[in-house]
Structure formats: C-alpha cells, structure tokens
Structure 1
Amino acid sequence: MVGRMSKRLKLHGFNNLTKSLSFNIYDICYARTEEHRSEYIEYIDEAYNANRLTQILTDVANIIGANVLDISRQDYDPQGASVTMLISEEPIATEKIGYTEEGPGPLPETVLAHLDKSHITVHTYPESHPQSGLSTFRADIDVSTCGRISPLRALNYLIHSFESDIVIMDYRVRGFTRDIRGKKHFIDHKITSIQNFLSKDTEERYQIMDVNVYQEYLFHTKMLLKNFDINNYLFGMGVNDYTPRELVRIEKLLKREMFEIFYGRNMNKT
C-alpha cells in the first residue's frame, strides 16, 4: 500500500499538505452621532460589498496561480458581506514557485503554481457602539491551498487591499505528504515567522509581534499601526468640530479600543 502510494506521488508529484492563512483586519473610527454611525456602516458596506470582495479574492487567486471554479457571494441585510471561492490547480510554470526561502511575496502579478482542493473565503463584520461612538470594521479572509505554494505569497497584496489599523494573521501547515521512500513530511518549505514574508513598507508602518508554536507548524503574527493621526479617525466631523478636551478624550478612547483588540483583552478605564 505504501509502495503504491509512493509510486503515485513520484509520478504525479501530488502534495497532500494543506497550507492555511487566516487574515483578520480591523478598521476603527469615531462617529459621534447615530446618523454618522449609520453613515459609516453604509460607507463600509459600499466600499467592501460582495462585488468588491470578489475582485480582491480573484486577484488573490491570480497571484497564487489558481483557476476559479465557483464563486458564491452575498450582501447581508442590515450589513456585512461574504464571498466563498473554490479554486483548483494550474500547471507548474517553474521549479522556483515553491517556497524554499523566506521572503516577501509580490503585489498583484500572475504566478502559476500547483494547487488542488483549495478555497478562499472572506466575511465582513461592520459594527458600532451606540454609547461610546466607536465604530469598527472587521474583515476575515481565509486562503487554504494544497500543493507546493504557500498562500503567504498573497499576503502583501491583502495587506495593501485593506488599509487597516490592526492586522492579525495565522498561518498553519496541516497534514503530511510522503516522499518516494514513504517518509512523511509535515512541512515542505522554510518558515520561521510570517514577518519574513512582509514587505519593507509594511514593516515600517506597523508595530509587529509574534506568537509562534514551531513544533506544531503554527505561526501567529499581529500588527498595530504605529502612527496615530486623529484626523484619520473622525467620521462625519473634523477636528475643528471638537474642543481640545474632547479630542483628548476621543484619542484615548480610540487608542484603548486598538490596544484591547491588539492584545485580546479588556483594559482598565482611566
């Protein structure tokens, strides 16, 4: 049984490893009135509707070299959208496609690779708090591939597609594949950190932290935008519409919200 399986692997080069990237982004703003909060949700729903998300995922499929087999998309009432895309392999274009060294992946460009039984999904979650004035947009994207290429190749494109205050990423290699002698291989490419696949401009813009479990091939990286300009966080109104004291309070509120999401715990109010 093992011999027949090894022979088939040798002939076809099929790779049973599943490489999954979970990519979560958060965009945060302050909207003082209920009207402004509703307008923020409407703005997000329009900016990241199912059609726009489909285009982003189609670009991801092109980057990792996949044929799109089927697309299911939905805009929800009152808010949010989802897209699920089934993808399959394209022919292997070059032996250099597989990851043997860590390094940033490209921005949008066509790359051919071997993929099978793969999918890409995205779900959006706009929400607002009626008392604090905080509004948060979250998008969850999962790219799962079987084959020689890692979905990390599309990471930089995804980061550039969603201008985000916080980015949380998980990458895991699951299952195993066998070589022609029957030996199991639980990973087929070098990785010490998701950070090593980020472009230089991303590294410069974000505070980055890792929590990795190397023996389980589980890599976790989260990023928090370094520079804070309150002008970028006021929706529906500008800095001239607030007193200096109000701006200090709003900045403290926004930063606490960001820190709580980044560290995954509630902080004491001061």
Structure 2
Amino acid sequence: MKKNPEQRIELHGFNNLTKSLSFNMYDICFTRTKEEREAYIEYIDEEYSAERLTKILKNVSDIIGAHVLNIAQQDYVPQGASVTVLVSEGPIVEVPTESFHESPGPLPDNVVMQLDKSHITVHTYPEYHPSDGISTFRADIDVSTCGEISPLKALHYLIHSFDTDIMTIDYRVRGFTRDKDGKKLFIDHNISSIQNYIPEEIKKDFDMIDVNIYQSHIFHTKCRIRDFDLNNYLFGYTKDELTKAEVEEITEKLTTEMDEIFYGTNMN
C-alpha cells in the first residue's frame, strides 16, 4: 500500500503537535411570556443535561481513539451544564490513513481509530433577552488532541448531536514536533478549509464564511442556517395562531438575532 508523505516522515520521539477544535453552536427561540421562557430553559436543561453531554463527549473520545481517565460533570442552577473529560493515549492498532485527508469523520457506529489525546470539554449557556422575547442557547465544545489525527474528525458527529441555527468553528495547530534530523514540523497534515470536514448534506443547509490564516495554521468557519421557517422557532405553538403583523415582527426579531450572532456585531 502506497503511503502518504505524512506517514513516511520519521519523527524524533513522539508527535507532540497540539490540534485544537472549538465548536460553538447556537439555538434560537422566540418566547412570548415569562412562562414560555422558563419552559424553554427547562427544556434545554433537560435536553442538554450534564448526563447527556457526557455521553456525547464519550462518543467524541471514541471517534478520536482516546482512553478516558477522568470525567467531571455538573448541572448548574438556575441553568447550564459543564463536562470535562481528561483523556490519554489509546493503543495504536493501525495508522489511521484516512485522518490525513480532508473529509468528514465517522459517527460512533463505525469508529476504528486509535491515537494519542489530551482533553475534551463542553459548557452550555442558556440565556434570554430581558424584554424582546428572544431566548438563545449556546454550547461550547473544545477538543484538544496530540498525535496523528485531527480532532476535526469529530466535527461531523458534533454537528449531528446538536440542533443548530448558527455554528462557529475554530481549528488551530500549535507547537511543533521534530523529524529524525531535528527539523521542526509545525503541521503534519494538509488542510485548506474546515468546510472539507463537513458532509455535503449538512453544508447545503448553511451559508458559510471562512477566515483562514494559513501561515499560522489557524482556520475559522462560520455557518448560518439557510432556510428560515418560523414554526421552528416558536415554543409550544405555530405561526397559524399569530396575526400577519405578529409574524412579521417576530421574524424580524429572530433574523436580526441570528445575523448579529453570525456577523458578531449589534445591528440597528
């Protein structure tokens, strides 16, 4: 079998490049009353409890071939949850050749990769506008690995695990490792865009923007859901129960909220 150039490189010691993936997702909802807002927050806290988030992170650790050393999880009052998974090297059964290619990673039912790791964390932030009827749920997931595979291989599963309107994804390779002659290697795989790790059936649903600094091995992709159906953003009722004026007002509030998050600026 012909090997990729990356596989033929002989290292001095182990591969100690650190590859960090930050996946930030947002779910937007319109809540007319205090009761609706409290019900939405309760739903989010139940849907994304520390227990369920722990299961998601365990599956991520399987995908990147990690051995779990310790798990710390916490549900917060009045809302939100956090999970931290400390992971270590797993037995390398076979060089994961597919990890060198820009392509979506597997889902948990077909995981075969094993390699070195460090940690995975998630924090959730349910919140709401004090007077405008907008409720927003944000989850921040960080996957940091050492070894041959990129944590971007977990991105497909992370998107699969959350109902997202907006995603902000950052990937960075830090540090360096050395080949057997002492030459520094600041990255050990080719990457042109985070988008190449997202399946086509998901990409067609989002508008995307890339901001990449190739010479620094920093990659950034923002995704905003393309099709807007107001019924997906109402909690406990449908738009058929609203007047035309209400539909227009709520639609404007929701789309403005999504634009502000996507572009990272307040809009008048």
Counterpart in the other structure of 1:4: none
CA distance in 1, matches of 2:34, 2:96: 53
Counterpart in the other structure of 1:67: 67
Work out whether 1:114 is the aligned partner of 2:115: yes
* 8 Å contact kept, 1:113–1:148: no
Counterpart in the other structure of 1:3: none
**TM-score with structure 2 setting the length:** 0.93
Task: Give the partner amino acid of 1:195.
Answer: Q
CA distance in 1, matches of 2:123, 2:97: 29
Deviation at 1:241, TM superposition (A): 2.5
Counterpart in the other structure of 1:251: 251
Counterpart in the other structure of 1:26: 26
CA distance in 1, matches of 2:246, 2:146: 52
Task: Give the partner amino acid of 2:119.
Answer: H
Deviation at 1:134, TM superposition (A): 0.2
Counterpart in the other structure of 1:35: 35
* 8 Å contact kept, 1:81–1:123: yes
Question: Which structure 2 residue ranges, 5 or more long, are not aligned?
Answer: 1-9
CA distance in 1, matches of 2:208, 2:14: 35
CA distance in 2, matches of 1:38, 1:48: 15
Counterpart in the other structure of 2:53: 53
SS of the aligned residue for 1:266 comes to coil
CA distance in 2, matches of 1:204, 1:61: 27
- After superposition, the C-alpha distances for 1:166-189 in whole angstroms (9 at most, x for unaligned) are 000000000000000000000000
Deviation at 1:113, TM superposition (A): 2.3
Counterpart in the other structure of 1:231: 231
Q: State how many pairs are aligned.
A: 258
CA distance in 1, matches of 2:101, 2:149: 12
Task: Give the partner amino acid of 2:111.
Answer: T
Deviation at 1:92, TM superposition (A): 1.6
SS of the aligned residue for 1:99 comes to helix
CA distance in 1, matches of 2:88, 2:243: 56
Q: Which moved more, 1:208-217 or 1:231-240?
A: 231-240
CA distance in 2, matches of 1:158, 1:46: 18
* 8 Å contact kept, 2:120–2:142: yes
- After superposition, the C-alpha distances for 1:8-36 in whole angstroms (9 at most, x for unaligned) are 954xx511100000000000010100100
Task: Give the partner amino acid of 2:115.
Answer: H
**TM-score with structure 1 setting the length:** 0.93
| RMSD, matched Cα | 1.3
Deviation at 1:98, TM superposition (A): 6.2
Deviation at 1:110, TM superposition (A): 2.1
Work out whether 1:159 is the aligned partner of 2:177: no
- After superposition, the C-alpha distances for 1:21-67 in whole angstroms (9 at most, x for unaligned) are 00000000101001000000000000000000000000000111111
Alignment of 1:77-96 (within 5 A): 77-96=77-96
Question: Which structure 1 residue ranges, 5 or more long, are not aligned?
Answer: 1-7
SS of the aligned residue for 2:196 comes to helix
Deviation at 1:200, TM superposition (A): 1.0
CA distance in 2, matches of 1:240, 1:202: 29
* 8 Å contact kept, 1:144–1:151: yes
* 8 Å contact kept, 2:100–2:149: no
Counterpart in the other structure of 2:133: 133
SS of the aligned residue for 1:164 comes to coil
Deviation at 1:236, TM superposition (A): 2.5
Deviation at 1:207, TM superposition (A): 0.6
SS of the aligned residue for 1:65 comes to coil
Counterpart in the other structure of 1:177: 177
CA distance in 1, matches of 2:152, 2:11: 24
Task: Give the partner amino acid of 1:233.
Answer: Y
* 8 Å contact kept, 2:64–2:115: no
Deviation at 1:128, TM superposition (A): 1.0
